[in-house]
């Protein structure tokens, strides 16, 4: 009887290649499912804290660690502008700073209106139940909305009408994702009280005309803020009064320690109106 010779090394090699392809495909599928579930707020996973102004500008996202108790989201000047209108451009590339925030459970969030001459309001929707969980009501420029504290994990969408008769159908949109964050933010802040830099509990963003940056930075520090980092950019509008008279702008990430949220908002209210936006 003639028996065929079996080439076992070839079979083994084919089996190894097939296994690698299968495992790689499975991992990719798992990662895709995890990413989708995380976006939907269905799973919690470690998110590296990140408050770099350059990343907020480029990715529209800020991630906070477990040591941050308060986040102040800025509504920048001309944040209500519809980006599809060629003659009416925003100063910065998003209607909220940050537009998307990832925070730890127990974090309190408020929105500060730095949009000169315009009132705003915020509606917050739970993505899972599709129910409204927060309504700010109208709040004036250079004032903040009432705060909301997030005690449970979840994914939320928030929005506000433009309150501009020229674009009645445009809505300003953003997201909030609440996770069980085991990690902490680290800081580069220098403030009038350096000893408190390790106890930072509040983070905010702000945009400033570049020509007023030194004066505003000094005023912010005098109000007890630390400036963790900053990112220069050119206004989408160019120059003019709506940009504080300067096409060059800077986004600042501010920090505060040991103050109540009302005290921090009061300090912002003393500085933001001096920037010359109209």
User: Same domain for 29 and 159?
Assistant: no
- Residue written as token pair 């930075």: 217
Q: Are residues 91 and 12 in the same domain?
A: no
What is the rounded average pLDDT of the residues 128-154?
A: 97
Pick from 109, 90, 91, 113: nearest CA to 100:
109
- Count of domains observed in the chain: 2
Per-residue pLDDT band at 46 (split at 50, 70, 90): low
Region 179-183: mean pLDDT is 97
Within a domain: 44: no
User: How far apart, in whole angstroms, are the C-alpha atoms of residue 208 and residue 210?
Assistant: 6
What is the DSSP code (8-state) at residue 146?
P
Burial of 194 (0-12, 13-18, 19+ CB in 10 A): exposed
* pLDDT top residue among 151 and 244: 151
Judgement on whether residues 249 and 219 belong to the same structural domain of the protein = yes
pTM to 2 decimals? 0.82
Kindly indicate the confidence band of residue 210, based on its pLDDT and cuts at 50, 70 and 90.
Answer: very high
State whether 87 and 214 are in the same domain: yes
Residue 255 in domain? yes
Q: 94 with 18, same domain?
A: no
Task: Determine how many CB atoms are found less than 10 A away from the CB of residue 271.
Answer: 21
Closest CA to 156 of 80, 103, 79: 103
30 lies in the same domain as 61: no
Q: 242 or 229, which is more confident? A: 229
**Of 102, 105, 103, which Cα lies nearest the Cα of 151?**
105
My answer on whether 15 and 128 are in the same domain is no
For the domain that residue 176 is a member of, what is the CATH number? 2.60.40.420
| pLDDT tops 90 at residue 163 | no
Rounded mean pLDDT of 185-207? 76
Q: What is the pLDDT of residue 45?
A: 55
Residue 232 has φ and ψ, to the nearest 5°, of -80, 145
Beta bridge partners, 252, equal: 206, 230
**Is residue 119 located within the same domain as residue 244?**
yes
Kind plus residue range of the DSSP H or E element containing 12? helix 8-39
Q: Are 171 and 145 in contact (CB under 8 A)?
A: no
pLDDT greater at residue 164 or residue 84: 84
Range of the structural domain that residue 26 is part of: 1-39
Q: What is the mean pLDDT of residues 46-70?
A: 95
Query: Residue 198: which pLDDT band, with cuts at 50, 70 and 90?
Result: low
User: CA-CA distance, 140 to 26, in Å (whole number)?
Assistant: 52
Q: What is the mean pLDDT of residues 101-116?
A: 97
Q: How is the beta sheet containing 131-135 ordered, strand by strand?
A: 61-63, 100-104, 171-179, 154-161, 123-126, 131-135
Pairing of β 148-150 and β 107-113: antiparallel
The reply to whether 112 falls in a domain is yes
Mean pLDDT (whole number) for 67-75: 98
- Does residue 97 lie in a domain region? yes
- CA torsion sign for 208, 50, 104, 187 is negative
pLDDT of residue 36: 38
Q: Residue 190: what pLDDT?
A: 56
**Which pLDDT belongs to residue 250?**
97
């Amino acid at each position: 009887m003639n028996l065929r010779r079996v080439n076992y090394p070839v079979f083994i090699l084919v089996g190894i290649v097939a296994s690698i392809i299968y495992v790689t495909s499975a991992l990719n599928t798992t990662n895709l499912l995890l990413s989708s579930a995380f976006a939907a707020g269905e799973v919690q996973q470690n998110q590296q804290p990140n408050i770099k102004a350059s990343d907020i500008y480029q990715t529209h996202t800020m991630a906070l660690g477990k040591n941050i108790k308060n986040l102040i989201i800025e509504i920048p000047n001309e944040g209500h502008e519809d980006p599809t209108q060629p003659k009416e451009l925003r100063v910065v590339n998003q209607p909220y700073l940050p537009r998307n925030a990832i925070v730890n459970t127990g974090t309190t969030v408020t929105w500060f209106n730095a949009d000169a001459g315009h009132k705003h309001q915020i509606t917050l929707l739970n993505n899972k139940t599709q129910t409204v969980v927060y309504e700010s009501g109208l709040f004036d420029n250079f004032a903040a909305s009432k705060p909301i504290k997030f005690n449970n994990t979840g994914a939320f969408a928030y929005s506000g009408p433009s309150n501009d008769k020229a674009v009645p159908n445009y809505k300003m949109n953003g997201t909030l994702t609440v996770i069980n964050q085991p990690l902490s933010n680290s800081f580069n802040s220098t403030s009038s009280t350096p000893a408190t830099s390790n106890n930072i509990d509040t983070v905010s963003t702000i945009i400033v005309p570049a020509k007023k940056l030194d004066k505003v930075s000094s005023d912010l520090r005098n109000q007890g803020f630390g400036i963790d980092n900053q990112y220069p950019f050119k206004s989408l509008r160019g120059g003019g009064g709506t940009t504080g008279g300067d096409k060059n702008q800077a986004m600042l990430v501010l920090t505060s320690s040991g103050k109540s949220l009302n005290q921090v908002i009061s300090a912002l209210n003393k500085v933001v109106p001096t920037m010359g936006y109209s």
